[in-house]
A = this chain, B = another copy of it.
Amino acid sequence: MALIVQKFGGTSVATTERIKNVAKRVAKWHRGGHEVVVVVSAMAGETNRLFTLISDVTSNTRDSEIDVIASTGEQVTIGLLSLALKELDINSRSLTGWQIPVKTDRQSTKARILEIASKNILKETARGTVPIIAGFQGVDGDNRIKTLGRGGSDTSAVAIAAAVNANECQIFTDVDGVYTTDPRVVPNARLLKTITFEEMLEMASLGSKVLQLRSVEFAGKYRVKLRVLSSLTDPDYPLEYEAKSGTLITYEDDNDMEKAEVSGIAFNRNEAKVTIIGVPDKPGIAFSILDPVAAANIEVDVIVQNVGKDGTTDFSFTVPRKDLEKTLDTLKPVIRKVKAREVIGDNKICKVGLVGVGMRSHVGIASKMFKALSNANINIQMISTSEIKITVVINEDSMDAAAKVLHQTFELDK
């Protein structure tokens, strides 16, 4: 018997029919002798509906009332799922963020979890009740409702799994698990049975949508055993098979088997590139350029400074594509101040990253990657490397070709 946290996202609870299917799946685990704690998102579309109402009334995006409104989506789901479980003769009880409580800081719409009163969750499991918990929400020290920001239900699930010391945290999604790359782009992409926490983190940071980045960070911090698996299979799929399905996120010292050089390829086409040309090459220049961008609340990702000539250098970085115009506007006065020649933007780029803990012990991965791209006639605009990841920025049109050639080069389909 194990204590399992199961999280079901918006598409898994999109309709009352799907909620009944989730109830069957939870009932199967409960009847299999496990203590199950369930965390759910709002029904797909509901959060968007609520945010449309909000934007009709205000352009403010951080008001504390937004949390009050947005948190109702999950509250509806916990009630419905609990009713559906009772219909299957399983004792069940819904719990909102404030009822547990899940204590957060005071940041509206982007709160962080501070503490979870796990005893109120374990009290329910101890008496054979399945607690159904609203993800994405908590309550601050002033008794005000707070939400964790979009996708925060994954973080809720992982934090709850850590708090109750669960044997496993199962994230049910509309995909089978984590693939070597996006199967829609590379048809022979392969499902990974396991992936290390650090690889998952790099994949998530590169735009793999399977898990929210913050939830992976949280899992790593508390070493929560995380499994990504499908909620679209038949809910009567035998328990012993379901328990081994999907992808398990492991911690490196969990096993000592030899690592593949590369585990996966992730990509992201939601970024744009900004280049400042002819910057006088002197100390403090990176700060002068990036500080105003950070102050405008724009997230900067890959940063590259090229070696210059004539005492000037070219300085490039990527920003979310939606923020490109704002970034260029922010930088115009800066250009004059630092006496750079000009600033240009390009929103037809994409980032492609190779991820693998095996890179640490294998040399030549980078050159193998660059050679493969060169053979495929794909031009690399920027390069950035970390211990277990190599990221290149290329033209957006070459993305599919790059993913395919790299998948083949590193034999990810084997």
Residues on A lying within 8 angstroms of B by beta carbon are: 16-17, 19-20, 50, 53-54, 56-58, 60, 63, 65-66, 68-69, 71-72, 75-76, 78-80, 82-84, 86-87, 94, 96, 98-99, 143-145
Contact = CB atoms under 8 A, between A and B. Distances in A.
8 contacts: A16-B53, A54-B80, A63-B83, A65-B79, A65-B83, A68-B94, A69-B75, A71-B75
B72 A84 contact: no
B86 A60 contact: yes
Contact of A87 (B58, B80, B84): B58
Given A53-B16, A79-B69, A86 B98 contact: no
Contacts of A54: 79-80, 83
B87 A57 contact: yes
A75 B68 contact: yes
A68 B78 contact: yes
A59 to B, nearest CB: 9
Contacts of A78: 65, 68
A185 B89 CA distance: 50
Given A16-B53, A65-B94, A143-B99, A58 B86 contact: yes
A279 to B, nearest CB: 43
Contacts of A79: 54, 65-66, 68-69
Nearest to A92: B65
A76 B65 CA distance: 9
A16 B76 contact: no
A58 to B, nearest CB: 5
Find the residue from A19, A65, A94, A99 having the highest chain B CB count within 10 A: A65
B76 A60 contact: no
A96 B68 CA distance: 9
Given A16-B56, A58-B86, A58-B87, A69 B80 contact: yes
Nearest 4 A/B pairs, CB to CB: A69-B79, A16-B56, A72-B72, A68-B79
A57 B143 contact: no
Contacts of A82: 65, 68
Contact of A80 (B53, B83, B86, B144): B53
A308 to B, nearest CB: 50
Nearest to A94: B68
A335 B84 CA distance: 40
Contacts of A84: 57-58
Contacts of A57: 16, 19-20, 80, 83-84, 87
A92 to B, nearest CB: 8
Nearest to A139: B99
B76 A58 contact: no
A76 B50 contact: yes
Nearest to A15: B56
A259 B72 CA distance: 49
Contacts of A71: 75
Nearest to A120: B143
Given A50-B76, A58-B86, A60-B83, 11 more contacts: A16-B56, A16-B57, A53-B76, A63-B86, A65-B79, A68-B79, A68-B94, A68-B96, A72-B76, A98-B98, A99-B144
A144 B86 CA distance: 17
Contacts of A17: 56
A412 to B, nearest CB: 42
Nearest to A74: B72
A14 to B, nearest CB: 12
Nearest to A43: B53
